[in-house]
A = this chain, B = another copy of it.
Amino acid sequence: MARSGPKLTRIATALGVSAATVSNALSGKGRVSAELAEKIRSVAAEIGYVPSQAGRALRTGKSAVIGLVLPDISNPLFPQIAQAIEFAASSAGYGVLIADSRGDVAVQTRAIERLIERGVDGMVIVPRRGTRIADVGCPVAVVDTPSTPGNTVAADHWDGGRQIAEHLVGLGHRRLLILGNNPASNVQNDRIGGLRSAMREGAQAETLWIERLEQVHGKGCSLGLAGKVAEGVTAFAAVSDLQALRALTELQRAGIHVPEQASVTGFDDLIWSPVVTPALTTIRMDMARIATLAVEALVQAIGAGEAEFPSHGRPVAATISKVPMQLVVRQSTATPPSNVQPAPNVKPPSEGEPQS
């Protein structure tokens, strides 16, 4: 509560009208004469009237607050998401309550419960890998991959991968190394699927799963990228800017010039991508759009909930929206070196060939 500020009643008595009239005037539902409404508004402004959300919520059954459930706030992509959702929600008149599941399913479940207890009207969930959001008892918009069942909005990760690969292949690269982190991630698999889909013209791509490598060699181990360059790889396509950064610095540390000897690409246009030397070529999601669509779907479901789901329901959006990705070309990609060995088992550019 914004402490006992001026109440509706106070302005009613001050003007000698009823509370109902004040309420109507302030909500602008037009059941009050223009003059009276004007007078009421001016008094309200004068005494600094702030309507009590609690009173309103109790009466209307709506809190005008949505929850934002994130798999792990410390994810570097989170600021973008949170900022976009906060903006979209504010614009739609909603507050945003955050909940962090810290990568843990049990915590996620608990976080969702707490949000319900706090009376959110709905929530935007960015699910933890592999989580399926059960019926939580309020409208939910899921932001994940188009391949996730129950998903509401997502960036077109697959197409983002395609764009990156097309860019690289277009520059002349024929041997790519895809840097993935966790093979269980839907998002990463979508991106990789897209990357591979562009491997025509005798181009080929191998995938390295970093987390797997780290399981045997320890966290922060070398990725052996210099060796890959020696084998003829000319481009490294990471599934996130974090991995791209790791690749870039490992290559530089090994004395390999980027982009002259090897190109590096990332994903997500995270904060450091334009800052690093050479700046990272990457793919940007339209977070504002994703957030707007998610919030719109949610608001609609909240409205529909009244009519269709009188006491509980799970009105997830029916249609999945795919938001396009945008390629951002910077200095970390260039034509491959001309003295590079052709890949061992690659035929001359002619037809699309199946790749490993």
A residues near B (Cβ < 8 Å) are 1-5, 50-55, 57-58, 61-65, 68, 73-76, 78-80, 82-83, 86-87, 90, 95-100, 102, 114-121, 137-138, 219-220, 222, 242, 245-246, 248-250, 252-253, 255, 257-258, 271-272, 274-279, 305, 309-313
Contact = CB atoms under 8 A, between A and B. Distances in A.
A279 B220 contact: yes
A37 to B, nearest CB: 20
Contact of A114 (B58, B95, B121): B95
Contacts of A61: 1, 3-4
B63 A311 contact: no
Contact of A117 (B53, B62, B121, B257): B53
A143 to B, nearest CB: 16
B119 A98 contact: no
21 contacts: A1-B119, A2-B120, A3-B311, A53-B117, A53-B118, A54-B54, A57-B57, A73-B82, A73-B83, A76-B272, A82-B100, A95-B114, A219-B274, A242-B275, A245-B275, A249-B249, A249-B278, A250-B277, A252-B252, A252-B253, A253-B278
Contact of A50 (B51, B83, B117, B121): B117
A271 B74 contact: yes
A73 to B, nearest CB: 4
Contacts of A275: 220, 242, 245-246
Given A58-B52, A97-B95, A118 B65 contact: yes
Identical chains bound together, number: 2
B2 A137 contact: yes
A86 B100 contact: yes
Contacts of A252: 249, 252-253, 277
Given A76-B79, A220-B275, A253-B277, 9 more contacts: A4-B311, A54-B119, A74-B80, A75-B79, A79-B79, A95-B114, A97-B97, A220-B279, A253-B278
Given A2-B119, A97-B95, A63 B74 contact: no
B74 A1 contact: no
Nearest to A120: B2
A228 to B, nearest CB: 15
Contacts of A75: 79
